Structure formats: structure tokens, C-alpha cells
Chains A and B, each alone.
Chain A
Amino acid sequence: MSKVLVVVETDGTTIKNASLPGVTAGAELAKHTGGELHLLVVGSGVGDAANAVGAAGFGAAGVHVADHAELAPFTTEAWTDTVVAAAKALGATALGGTATSTLRDVIPRAAALLDAPLAAEITGVTGNNTFSREMSAGRALADFTLSGSVVCFTARASDFAPAAAGAAAPVSAADVGTPNKRGAEVVGIETTQSARPALTEASVVVAGGRGMGSGENFAPLETLTDLLGGALGASRAATDAGMVPADLQVGQTGKVVAPELYFAVAISGAIQHLAGMKGSKTIVAINKDPEAPIFQVADYGLVAKWEDTLPQLIELVKAKKSG
């Protein structure tokens, strides 16, 4: 029987929201292959988190926990040793998860060790080991089939619904193998502190571009963001200019988002930016240049300077929210 093994990340107590779309992709693949879904929890001292994942089940036949001191903090070297050992011990025919920065590091390395092909950043599961994904900054859509005794995938979070909890699944210890960091050492982690939802999970994203001019000028965008309970984003031009941190970048080389509502303010709309947000349900563009390519993907376009529109927009949204 085919077995799809999905690696999930935890925040210490339970599954991270970012891992849920990858579980959905794994469940869809299991359905297409007529096999079982299995989940793998990796880390140090993650027993409680694994039990919480087991209680939520997510439609899995089993939850496997790989608990070892070498597995925290995260290094791809040690994690991959364990993920490969667990996949082999289970007899997995597919291995994957959400395309987070963690698994985009681990899954290709694991695929190399398993001599397996990888469907990277898939947008859909269309059949037995058959997937869809975008290429060339979203301008080409490939439907393709992987062959081999084991195949790997990473799923683009914006294209799969988060997995829902279901009947509890049994939790058991996984084969952790011999995790080894190969001399690598994590010296520090600077986490961007924000009370806002994660960019890839927010239902509203307010993004600013080069035309904002400076980091200070992002203040009204932040006000609008918080008014809508959304996340702040930016184009590469704005992050490269140092107006806002790099992890806010939306686009081909940043994060791919698909919120209900996306505001693109003073963003011209280069194809690399469009690749990161054109899956959004409703797109609003505010730009002073009527020829800006962003207007070609916008549902609602307003040709105006941000300076002249944001204060009024904030007041009117405020009135709508309170009315």
C-alpha cells in the first residue's frame, strides 16, 4: 500500500498553522494513490505536540514522533537524516509538506538521499503522483507526473486549504536514524515580532511599493492593515530599499499570498510581484501611473497618489467597520 508521509512543524505545543496546507496536499495525494496519510513530528521535546497532533488526527492513519536532542534548534542536516530514516522505516512512497523555509531546505536534501524526484511548490494534486505547479513567475502552468518508488513534494500554502481536525490518530515513536549537524551550528535567530497575522495566513494583505518613498511613509498602510486585521506586505523594490524588513516581500522570490483582499499601494506590478499575489480573491490597486501593469490584474483600480487617498480610505474604512 502506498503511504504518504507529511512532515509537520510544531510551535512546541501543537502543529503550526503553516503546516496545515501541506497536510491537505498529502491527504489529496493519498486519496489519488489509494493509500494512507501519515504525519511526522520532528524536534526535541515534542512529545506533547505530537500527542496534540494525534488528537486532532487530520485524517491520518498514524502520527510518528521523532524526538532527539540533535533536532533542535532546526538544522536541515540533522532533520534530513531523521526524515529520511523515518520515511524508509515506514516504507513511505511519498514524502512532503508545506513549502515553508524549513521544508524547502529539508525536502530537496531528503529527495537527493532517496534518489527521488521532487514536485516543488505544487499548486494542485491532479492525479496519481501527478501535480500542477507554476513556472516563469506564474506565466506557465505545468501538469506533470513523477516516476519512482518514492516521490517528494512541497505544497504552496496559498493553494491548499488548511487541514481540518478529525478522528484521533495513533501516535508512535518514529525511527529517528542518526541525526548529525555536520558541524553546522545555529548561532542566533532574529524573529520578526508582530502582533499581526502571518503574511501567508492573513485574510487581508496591505502592501506598499517603491512609490511609498520611505519606511516612515508606511505608517498609514500599517494603520489600514490593523484596521482590517490584516498583514503588511511589500514589493521587492520596497524591501531592497530597506523601507521594511525583507520577510515582508511578496513575489516570485518572496512570499506567495492569496488573501480575500489585497491592497497594492504604489506598486507598479512587475511580473515577479504579480507571481506572488495574483491568486488573491479581490485585488485593489492604488497607483498614480495609469499605465502601471498592476491595473491589469486589479479588480478595482484607483489612479491617484497614495498621499491623497490613504487618509480618506482609512476614515471611510473606519466608518464602515463601526457602522
Chain B
Amino acid sequence: MKILVTVKRIPDPDASVKFADGAIDTSSTKWVPNEFDQYAVETALRLAEDAKSKKRHAEIVVCSVCPAAQRQHITTFLAMGADRGVVVDADDTALDSQAVAKLIAGVFKKEGADLLVCGKLSQDSEGNEVGQRVAGLLDLPIGSFAGGVTWDQGSGAMVVSREVDDGVETKKVPLPSVLTCDLRVVLPSSVKNGVTPDDHTYNEGPRLASLRGITMAKRKKVEQLKPADLGVEAGSAVNNNAVTPPAARAAGQIVESVEQLVEKLASEAKVL
């Protein structure tokens, strides 16, 4: 069993967004791992490991499309516990989602992976499309927006709790397949793999790298590929005309009492 996980570097979401010449200015950006990809790697680890014996039942490969010199985020995920990495050396900011999806589909085929785990979206571009696109390109079934996953070892399928607009849908997806991870997949009992006891509870959220993990990460292999190695001509059909800060809301007012609030909502805002 081999699990491929996509990971992306994004501008630090807690830093302010800077603009220059009708675009986002990334010249002084601190790049950090995308939060949803941390959930994806945590999901893969929970699927792969026996939480009691720490034995692994699947290999976890993390894959990123980015300039090879800027792959620090891959090391972060190796320190978290992934086994090895693949970096597709390209300027990800100049690629559209279809190009990225073709590259990831190429790595999936080259690796002969059984499962692709993606974050639901990246916090910077918020496209929410790459996992779905890769599933389409590879003609695979998908469990998107997963808030919970149970690996049914008997039938070789993932049973996915999907967070849909008006509730939760349970979908059984046979391997090979694709998962995209929503927030609640990292709650203490959201992932079950049939090896770790079902009543095991994890700490909430993605795990932190241990000191040993950080030392080990430096020795783990990261393969470097070019788009041409995967037979993909990488480009973009999306042309930004301008990226600007949105108009700020007009300043509001602080009211002193509930009476004043209700009075203003009725007479000023006219919403009551």
C-alpha cells in the first residue's frame, strides 16, 4: 500500500497581504506549509500506522510542485513522519490548477500509488479543485471534503464521511482512489484503519514533529523531477488582470446598551 499526499507552500496566512503593481507582492513573503495539507499528512499517517505498536502498514510519499530550492515544507512533512518526498521543480505561481493536477497525476502513476490524499484547499488561492481534477484525469473515484475516514481492510475501500452543504454523506470508495480532507478529519477519532484499535483517540489536530523526526527528515530521500519527466507541458490558462485589496468596510459605531442597539437597528439600519 502506497499513499501519495500533496503538499503546498503558501504565504504565511497570519502575515498581512502586500500588493505591488496590480499583484500580490511575495518578494518578502515567509512561505509556510498549507494547513489543510497538514491535515492530509496527518490523515495518511493515521491510515498507515498502528498507533499502539507504531508499525507502518503503508508507505507515505509527500509530493509538491514548487521550485526545488524552496522545498522546506517537504522537510517539515518528512519530520512529521512521511517516508520520502517528490518535488516537481516548477514555478507553481505560474501554473494553473489543471497543470498542477496533470503533474500530480503523473507522479501518482509513476509511483504506482494506491491512494492520493489532498487537503481540501490551499489557504492562499482557495481553488478547491486539484484533488477533484486529479481524480478525473486518473479516472478514479473520490471522497471529497472528508471529515472522517474508515479504511475497510476487508473490501479494500475507504468509507468516507463527507461534509456536504446540508449534513454528512457517507460514501464507500474502492482503492485506488482520491481523498480530499476537510477540517474535522483531524478530530481525535475521525480516522480508523482497522489496525489501530477503534477506541483509540488521537490528540486533536496534526501532530508536531518530534526531535527524532526532525533529525530523521534530513536523511530521508527527496526525488527531484521536471515537468518534462512526467510528459507534462506546464502552463496556465488563467491570466490575472489585477489583484487588489478589497474595499474596506466603513467604520462602525460602538453602542452603549442593548436598548440603543435595538433602537439603531430599527430606525437607522432599518433591519428590525
Enumerate chain A interface residues (CB-CB to B < 8 A): 18, 75-77, 80, 100-102, 104-105, 108-113, 115-121, 130, 134-148, 151, 181-192, 198, 200, 204, 236, 240, 245-247, 252-253, 255, 260-261, 271, 278, 281-284, 295-304, 309, 312-313, 316-317, 320-321
Q: Are A109 and B123 in contact (CB under 8 A)?
A: no
Known: A108-B133, A145-B239. A246 touches B184 (CB 8 A): yes
Docked complex Cα distance between A130 and B259 (Å) = 47
Alpha-carbon distance A283/B143, docked complex (angstroms): 36
- List A contacts of B121 (CB < 8 A): 253
Q: Separation in Å of the B228 CB from the closest CB of chain A?
A: 19
* CB within 8 Å of A: which B154-183 residues: 159, 162-174, 177, 182-183
**Is B120 in contact with chain A by the CB < 8 A criterion?**
yes
A122 to chain B minimum Cβ distance, whole angstroms, is 12
**Once the chains bind, are B123 and A252 in contact (CB under 8 Å)?**
yes
Say yes or no: A236 contacts B183, CB within 8 Å.
yes
Bound Cα distance A303, B142 (Å): 46
* Chain A residue, CB-CB nearest to B22: A143
**Which residues from chain B contact A151 at a C-beta distance below 8 Å?**
237
CB-based nearest B residue for A119: B238
Tell which of A110, A111, A261 has the most Cβ of chain B within 10 Å: A111
Contacts of B16 in A (CB 8 A): 139
- The minimal Cβ–Cβ distance linking A78 to chain B, given in whole angstroms, is 10
CB distance from A147 to the nearest CB of B (A): 5
User: Which residues of B (215-272) have their CB < 8 Å from a CB of A?
Assistant: 236-246, 249, 252-255, 257-259, 261-262, 264-266, 269, 271-272
Is B21 interfacial (CB-CB < 8 Å)?
no
Q: Any chain A CB within 8 A of the CB of B97?
A: yes
Distance, CA A148 to CA B99, complexed state (A): 14
Q: Is the CB of A187 within 8 A of B166?
A: no
A184 cross-chain contacts in B, Cβ below 8 A: 141-143, 171-174, 177
The complex places the Cα of A312 from the Cα of B133 at a distance, in Å, of 51
Q: Is B107 part of the binding interface, using a Cβ–Cβ cutoff of 8 Å?
A: no
Complex Cα–Cα for A260 and B269 (A): 10
Q: Does B63 contact A (CB under 8 A)?
A: no
Closest CB in chain B relative to A205 CB, distance in Å: 12
| Interchain CB contact under 8 A, B139 and A182 | yes
Query: What's the Cα separation between A192 and B165 when bound, in Å?
Result: 9
Task: Determine the distance from Cα of A198 to Cα of B166 in the docked complex, in whole angstroms.
Answer: 8
Report the bound CA distance from A138 to B159 in whole Å.
33
Say whether, besides A117-B96, A120-B126, A298 and B164 are in contact (CB < 8 Å). Answer: no
Please give the distance in Å from A251's CB to the nearest CB on chain B: 10
CB of B101 within 8 Å of the partner chain: yes
Distance in angstroms between the alpha carbons of A146 and B129 in the assembled complex: 16
Check A77–B258 contact: CB distance below 8 A: no
Minimum CB distance partner of B158 in chain A = A184
Determine the residue in chain B with the shortest Cβ distance to A141: B246
Known contacts A75-B171, A136-B13; A100/B165 CB under 8 A: yes
Distance A300 CA – B261 CA, assembled complex (angstroms): 7
Given A100-B165, A302-B254, A77-B237 contact (CB < 8 Å):
no
Question: CB-defined interface of B96-137 with A at 8 Å, one 1/0 digit per residue?
Answer: 111001000000000000000000110111111110111111
Contact yes or no, B136 A146, CB < 8 A: no
Nearest CB of A to B239, in Å:
5
